[in-house]
Amino acid sequence: MLDTATAAATRLAQPDALLQTNAIDMLREDTLLSASLWVNVALAGLAILVFVYMGRNVETPRARLIWVSTLLVPLVSIASYSALLSGLTIGTLEMPAGHALAGESVLSPWGRYLTWTLSTPMILLALGLLAGTDTAKLFTAITMDIGMCVTGLAAALTTQSYLLRWAFYGISSAFFLVVLYILLAEWPADAVEAGTADIFGTLKVLTVVLWLGYPILWALGTEGLALLDVAVTSWGYSGLDILAKYVFAFLLLRWVAGNEQTVSTAPPAATAAATDD
């Protein structure tokens, strides 16, 4: 009796360690799930080497800033996915009443939200610089994006109320709508003035289409309606990350390296912003 009580007290005193241990075990036992993380580590490492090579001759300040912003995307990703594989940023959560998996312990790779919080602002920074947008629009896009990622994390980690999970999801989606508005309504005109409309248009469509996949996958996956299991959801996120980050960055850097003179020319919007400062 005493031994049982002591064991229970020990478990209560170390809940985080137990949850993390369970999560690591679940990750190791699910080959499909772990493979979805390893593929991103491998591709992020390859992307870092390729992007360093592609930017080796970039010299002008604006072009170099785009290059550094883009290079940070796989750098953040390889660190984040390594943390997921190590078990540092994963855990198990008991889903609340009303959820399809209510009362069950579900694996939560919440470290992905850290990846997105740090990497997606770099994508927007590179796009904004490419479009030659002004400081106010760039600041708005980046801060709304961070708000989207943080509230998305809150939606994923909330366990006391199923309704509250969807409330945070709605707030995150509202932040996302602002980002979409800037990408679709504000920056295209800036890109025309900057002389980068063609490549910006391609990257804009790629970004918007792929980024729309994330909230859809959240809703269908274990965090939302649980129509998809953890491994399938993880592969969905990994696939979106590969296209929205590494393919996006490759296309952007290839164009910047071949059109540095266009990139280096300060567009009217950027010039006006510098004058106002």
Angle, in degrees to the nearest 10, between helices 187-194 and 268-276: 100
pLDDT tens track for 112-133: 999 999 999 999 999 999 999 9
pLDDT tens track for 159-196: 999 999 999 999 999 999 999 999 999 999 999 999 99
CB < 8 Å & 24+ apart, contacts of 42-45: 43/74, 43/242, 43/246, 44/74, 44/75, 44/77, 44/78, 44/81, 44/246, 45/74, 45/78
CATH number of 31-90+111-276: 1.20.1070.10
User: Where along the chain do its domains lie?
Assistant: 31-90+111-276
pLDDT band at 24 (very low <50, low <70, confident <90, very high): confident
Mean pLDDT throughout 100-107? 90
Determine the pLDDT at residue 216: 97
| Residue 15 pLDDT greater than 80, yes or no | no
Q: Is 52 left (phi over 0), alpha (psi -120 to 50) or beta?
A: alpha
Q: Which residues contact 150 (CB under 8 A, 6 or more apart)?
A: 113, 117
**112 Cα distance to chain centroid:** 7
Determine the pLDDT at residue 21: 59
Q: What are phi and psi of 94, to 5 degrees?
A: -90, 120
For CA atoms 188, 190, 192, 197, the dihedral sign is negative
| Residue 8 pLDDT greater than 50, yes or no | no
Total Cβ atoms within 10 A of residue 15: 9
Determine the pLDDT at residue 126: 97
Nearest of 74, 38, 55, 76 to residue 246 by alpha carbon: 74
Helix (H) or strand (E) holding 146: helix 135-157
